[in-house]
Amino acid sequence: MRVIGLMSSHCTELRDHIPVMEAMAMFTELIREIFKSSKLKQFLILPLGKLLYLIATQEEKKERPGGLWVVPAAAYTVLMRCLREGEELVVNHMAAKTIENVCSRESQYTQGFITAEVGPALWYWFTHSTVGALRIIAVSDFVMKIIRSLESPYSVIHAKAVLVLLQVLMNNREMLLLCCNSRLVMYIERDVRKATPGKEQQSGNEYLSKCLTLFIRHTVHELPAILDDILSVLGSIVGRKHPSPTQSRQLKQSLPMMAVVLHLLTSQIFRPQVVTEAFLIKFGKLLVVDLIVPLLASLAFSKNVEWRVVSLRVLSEITLLLLLSQDEVEESERDGGREREAEWEGEGISSNTRLLTLISEALLPQYETLLLESDPVPVYALKLLVSLTEHSSPISRLVRESSLLPAIFQVIEEHKNNTVGSMMQNAMALLCNLTGQKGTDLRPFDQQGMIAVVCNVFVEVSGVRLEREMLSGLKSCSFLLLCLLDIIHCLLKNLSSVVRLALQRSDSNEDTEAAEELLLINKPLTNLNNLLIQLLACNDSEVYEEASHCVSLLAQLYGGEGADRLQPKELLSLAHTLQTHTEPRLLRVLKRLMSAVGSSCWGSSRAAETGAAY
């Protein structure tokens, strides 16, 4: 049966005397007899479809097509039954593919499928296709199996797998995204190093090297076409408030392919061949603020959740790149002795100025709706704000002056049960950027209860960090801890400057009252003193630096507040820190703690036992 189907696929001429109809009738009868057996049915539908397509092709070639071959009506009936609901997905796919192939030819056999039953059946499967059915129609499963074969220890299998993937990509460019997401670039880099000609096994690796060269060359040649598709689809929606269904489908297919560009640019094998003058011109067009960023900003508020997520992710990457490149330009100008005046008040020649205008007019007025969306939109919305505020003081000022602070703290409140999650990380990083600039008015943050939020999150995160729990999330926990320490440090520095100003103006009751009020607001931070002292013994130099500054400022502002609550582990941490770091501020902290509780406490049996144990 398979041989007959294979011969039908490669047949170029079918003579009149060949008994094709007998084979077709035999296949039809066999399918009717074993119709309940899905496996056997799959073996028979394929050759039946190949034969039917063959005679349709042959009739199309005839000058005067006629009834040279008579297809039994039972063959059409069997194929129609295979389209009915309840059949195996593979059987549905084979029947639909047979109808597609036959109807693509101009022959009388097409009329057998133009019935009132076939049309609704095909439409049903088009509108009710599941993810599994789409996977079968696509080649995702097949590609994944081929990529897994690259883990084989044999170079010949690697070479054959690369050739198969090359053929797949030549017929289906979209599979390149799946390949990159499945670590194909890593496998290619490994095999390139392995296939590098050397003194030993040069002949054995030669075949693999040639296959890799073909694959790399094809992939590099595909990249300009990918960028052209992205530019084309983005250009088609210029000036449109709502893209058409066709444009929406094209956006969904083209925009994710930007990830392929990222994978290839970060690869030391592909990058030298990818980054050419033509590529830089095409890629530069994607980063034009006047054309691309406004369109992505409008898509960020689309009704489709996937579009919003993809648009926010791309916006985050593009704006971060623009701001970083602008910083480099300004730094080079300062090094050259030139100064920029009115950077954010110019005539629109700066890309940063246009970006600021876009953010203030198009993004921020509606941004609250993104923050209050259901997951995962708020995560990417916060990530975009972090990218914007990290490298731009004017954008940080715009965010602080907008009405977004209540929404940000609402997001934090809703996700307080997952303190080490990505949502809390982005939220704390955003607060760190907003409060970290000198001269920032922190009263709006105090009104939203930032002190209590920071204290609660810090207690949980520092506990995880100190006890070495959740080892898989330790890296993200350290990042979150640094953000929290930076926020606490900024709060204490702001408090210190207000108190210092009040002391300098001792005759001003207004300044004194403001300092006293701020001292009361920030007093809950003294409850973190024990945890901060424990962090002094941390091996991370950044954590130690921030924690030591916070402990020092707390001692200066509140004296020895909470010193009587110090436990042996805090005393051990402080003693260890004094031995490894001989800094005057730590000695001043120790002096204030001792003066607050008196020498009798430090000479108690409990403290003595602690010191002896140390």
- The pLDDT value given to residue 215: 93
Average pLDDT over residues 224-244: 77
Q: How many CB atoms lie within 10 A of CB 9?
A: 12
Average pLDDT over residues 591-602: 58
- The pLDDT value given to residue 224: 82
Average pLDDT over residues 41-63: 78
- Contacts with 387 (C-beta within 8 Å, 6 or more apart), sequence order: 316, 317, 319, 320, 323
Average pLDDT over residues 379-384: 87
Specify whether the CB–CB gap between 544 and 576 falls below 8 A: no
Specify whether the CB–CB gap between 108 and 65 falls below 8 A: yes
- Contacts with 225 (C-beta within 8 Å, 6 or more apart), sequence order: 173
**pLDDT by residue (tens digit) across 521-540?**
888 888 888 788 777 777 77
Tell me the residue type at 3.
V
- The pLDDT value given to residue 219: 92
> Cα(353)–Cα(332) distance, rounded to whole angstroms?
19
Residue 214 has pLDDT above 90, yes or no: yes
Of residues 592 and 25, more confidently modeled: 25
Residue 385's alpha-carbon distances to 178, 408, 482, 533, in angstroms, are: 29, 11, 18, 32
- The pLDDT value given to residue 288: 63
Instruction: Classify 531 as helix, strand or coil.
Output: helix
What the block records as the tokens of 260 is 């392929």
> Cα(569)–Cα(533) distance, rounded to whole angstroms?
9
Residue 89 has pLDDT above 70, yes or no: yes
Specify whether the CB–CB gap between 598 and 561 falls below 8 A: no
Q: Of the candidates 257, 250, 256, which has an alpha carbon nearest to the alpha carbon of residue 235?
A: 250
Residue 611 has pLDDT above 50, yes or no: no
Residue 12 has pLDDT above 60, yes or no: yes
- Dihedral of CA atoms 67, 72, 73, 76 in degrees, nearest 10, equals -100
**pLDDT by residue (tens digit) across 188-200?**
999 888 877 654 4
Of residues 323 and 46, more confidently modeled: 46
Per DSSP, 286 falls in state H
- Contacts with 446 (C-beta within 8 Å, 6 or more apart), sequence order: 521
> Cα(294)–Cα(288) distance, rounded to whole angstroms?
10
Residue 111's alpha-carbon distances to 22, 75, 114, 138, 513, in angstroms, are: 21, 13, 5, 28, 92
Residue 78 has pLDDT above 70, yes or no: yes
- pTM confidence score: 0.52
Of residues 132 and 129, more confidently modeled: 129
Specify whether the CB–CB gap between 209 and 171 falls below 8 A: no
Q: Of the candidates 133, 142, 186, which has an alpha carbon nearest to the alpha carbon of residue 168?
A: 142
- The pLDDT value given to residue 336: 47
What the block records as the tokens of 582 is 């001989």
Residue 25's alpha-carbon distances to 59, 129, 402, in angstroms, are: 19, 31, 76
Percent of the chain with pLDDT over 90: 4
**pLDDT by residue (tens digit) across 465-474?**
666 544 444 5
**pLDDT by residue (tens digit) across 239-267?**
677 778 888 888 888 888 888 988 988 89
Rounded to the nearest integer, the mean pLDDT of the chain is 76
Domain at 405-614, CATH class: mainly alpha
Of residues 13 and 146, more confidently modeled: 146
